[in-house]
Structure 1
Amino acid sequence: MLANEYLPFLTEIKEVIKHTDIEYTFRLTFAGDVKPGQFFEVSLPKYGEAPISVSGIGNGTVDLTIRRVGKVTNEIFEHFVGDKLFMRGPYGNGFDIGNYQGKELVVVAGGTGLSPVKGVIDYFAGHRDETKGMTLVAGFKTPRDILFLEDFDRWQQRLNVILTVDCAAEGSACRTGLVTQYIPQLKLNKIEEAAAIVVGPPLMMKFATQELLKRGFQEENMWISLERKMCCGIGKCGHCKIDDTYVCLDGPVFNYKKGCQLID
């Protein structure tokens, strides 16, 4: 008998971590293989389901960082430690750690775009000898919008971290400016061999990848992750289709040479 690919399973909330007023990380029970950049469909009866990227991978748990922006996510925020949620997945291809091992790596992330790439950052923060150097350039609107503050404290001890905000309050210690203005300042030994990951709002990714190309990064050494309305997650509904590409199946992580051709 064929398995029902739409059938979700129950998961338990083990921890809820508040980042901002509308962005929490839900640590959920999960036993199985999962990679950074993949996503789950999280659902609640009567409310529907929403695709949520993996922001952390633990021993028997998976982290999903969720922004409270609609019917489904509003209801998820009414659930607490010990409560149950439905989810199915993981879906998508995710980031392959092997693509970045042995190279200088630059990660450029904007806002909630930091969530799907957080697993890559965590991995190399714990395995510094597996890269020739890693730089994280992360940007947020204001200091109040910064995600994973405790993780930034840890990352800054192990990686080269540039944390910036578009607008800082008076007296704030945050750097200001868009992530793109810090790309020309990056110090790299062999740019033509370096790897880069760019995730964030579409305009931010457009201009960040342009700046990386100006610096001499090769298209084949750059990866992006696309956000789409991935309703089914298995390439059946067509909501995420761009030309002949299904983002939920072929992505959401794409090598830049392919990703730059996907135009809505």
Structure 2
Amino acid sequence: MNNPYLPRPQRILSVTQQTAIDWTFRLESDMAPGFGQFLELSLPGLGEAPISISDFGPGWLDLTIRSVGRVTRGVFVLRPGDVVYARGPYGRGFDPKQYCGKNLLMVTGGTGLAPVKSLIRHFLAHRDDLKAFALILGFKSPADVLFAAEIEEWRRGADVILTVDRGDEQWRGQTGLVTQHIDQYAFHDGPTEAIVVGPPPMMKFSTLGLLQRGVSAEAITVSFERKMSCGLGKCGHCKIDETYVCLEGPVFNYAKARLLLD
């Protein structure tokens, strides 16, 4: 029998620096993840950490990692050719079929862009599946912007609002919180679905803004960036009431997610 707790070695193919503390590691992997799933990344002697899969393709997957703890700091000293260990993928992700034939608005804050990056790329490659496609991407400052070159490419197939909380002398783009841009967004005719991913306060006020603009709770999807541990629904670390986030999430319909209170 296979041991579900046993990680497998994954060789690092490339390392791309996004910001001073956010790097993307491309791993050689035969995993077949879904959009918005996560895996458990580990290093011997240091421990294990849940990481969202930011992109994937045949024989590879990307992890966009922020250096914030013992495991992630250990990963940041590795280079192409080195090996990390991983198990998964885990969790319930996004179902692209849910959005077909509709207008789709994605609202992300900071590293919340990483879990939906693969879904963005999917819909840009299948643009006819959507009526309208818009992205409101928020970051604290220009230095915190993830996937900057790719965002410019996304403008060819989507309406993109890239905003920072505070600009600098070189910044020529939008400023202000994502909620300000939700208030000003010109919604298209027809059914609209929204995806919101980011820090809890950003998600709270973004979903409230969408509700005030007439998007129903059932048409909003969120992803909980909540700390998981086993990923298998056994340890209870991520449990809220009777819901195991690692099994039933991290992607939830907002009609249920708004009831999951710590």
Flag whether TM exceeds 0.5 (same fold).
yes
2:57 equivalent to 1:58? yes
Q: Which residue of structure 1 lines up, in the alignment, with residue 246 of structure 2?
A: 248
2:157 equivalent to 1:158? yes
Q: Which residue of structure 2 lines up, in the alignment, with residue 125 of structure 1?
A: 124
What CA RMSD, in Å, does the superposition of the two structures yield over aligned residues? 1.0
* Residue-pair matches, total: 262
SS in structure 2 opposite 1:57?
Answer: strand
AA aligned to 2:237 is: H
Q: Deviations over 1:70-125 (max 9, x none)?
A: 10000000111011100000000111111111110000000000000111111111
1:229 to partner: Cα distance: 1.6
Q: Which residue of structure 1 lines up, in the alignment, with residue 258 of structure 2?
A: 260
The CA distance in 1 between the partners of 2:172 and 2:189, in whole Å, is 32
Q: Deviations over 1:198-254 (max 9, x none)?
A: 000000000000010111111111100001221100011111000000000000000
Q: Which residue of structure 2 lines up, in the alignment, with residue 42 of structure 1?
A: 41
SS in structure 1 opposite 2:14?
Answer: strand
Q: Indicate if the aligned counterparts of 2:223 and 2:250 stay in contact, CA closer than 8 A.
A: yes
AA aligned to 1:240 is: C
The CA distance in 2 between the partners of 1:174 and 1:186, in whole Å, is 16
AA aligned to 1:205 is: M
Q: Indicate if the aligned counterparts of 1:168 and 1:176 stay in contact, CA closer than 8 A.
A: yes
Q: Which residue of structure 1 lines up, in the alignment, with residue 210 of structure 2?
A: 212
1:57 to partner: Cα distance: 1.1
Q: Which residue of structure 2 lines up, in the alignment, with residue 113 of structure 1?
A: 112
The CA distance in 2 between the partners of 1:20 and 1:12, in whole Å, is 23
The CA distance in 1 between the partners of 2:118 and 2:132, in whole Å, is 17
1:174 to partner: Cα distance: 2.1
2:142 equivalent to 1:181? no
The CA distance in 2 between the partners of 1:225 and 1:257, in whole Å, is 13
The CA distance in 2 between the partners of 1:199 and 1:81, in whole Å, is 30
Equivalence map 1:5-84=2 (5 Å): 5-84=4-83
The CA distance in 2 between the partners of 1:172 and 1:109, in whole Å, is 20
1:188 to partner: Cα distance: 2.1
Q: Indicate if the aligned counterparts of 2:27 and 2:62 stay in contact, CA closer than 8 A.
A: yes
The CA distance in 2 between the partners of 1:257 and 1:48, in whole Å, is 35
1:170 to partner: Cα distance: 2.1
Q: Deviations over 1:126-161 (max 9, x none)?
A: 111110011000000000000001110110121100
1:171 to partner: Cα distance: 3.7
The CA distance in 2 between the partners of 1:217 and 1:172, in whole Å, is 32
Q: Indicate if the aligned counterparts of 1:143 and 1:174 stay in contact, CA closer than 8 A.
A: no
AA aligned to 2:204 is: K
1:36 to partner: Cα distance: 1.7
Q: Please, what TM-score do these two structures have when normalized by structure 1?
A: 0.97
Match of 2:228 among 224, 227, 230: 230
Unaligned runs of 5+ in 1: none
The CA distance in 2 between the partners of 1:115 and 1:62, in whole Å, is 12
Percent identity over the alignment is 53
The CA distance in 1 between the partners of 2:37 and 2:49, in whole Å, is 14
AA aligned to 1:56 is: D
2:89 equivalent to 1:93? no
1:32 to partner: Cα distance: 3.2
SS in structure 2 opposite 1:17?
Answer: strand
The CA distance in 2 between the partners of 1:251 and 1:257, in whole Å, is 13
SS in structure 1 opposite 2:138?
Answer: strand
AA aligned to 2:205 is: F
Equivalence map 1:130-149=2 (5 Å): 130-149=129-148
The CA distance in 1 between the partners of 2:247 and 2:9, in whole Å, is 23
The CA distance in 1 between the partners of 2:96 and 2:14, in whole Å, is 27
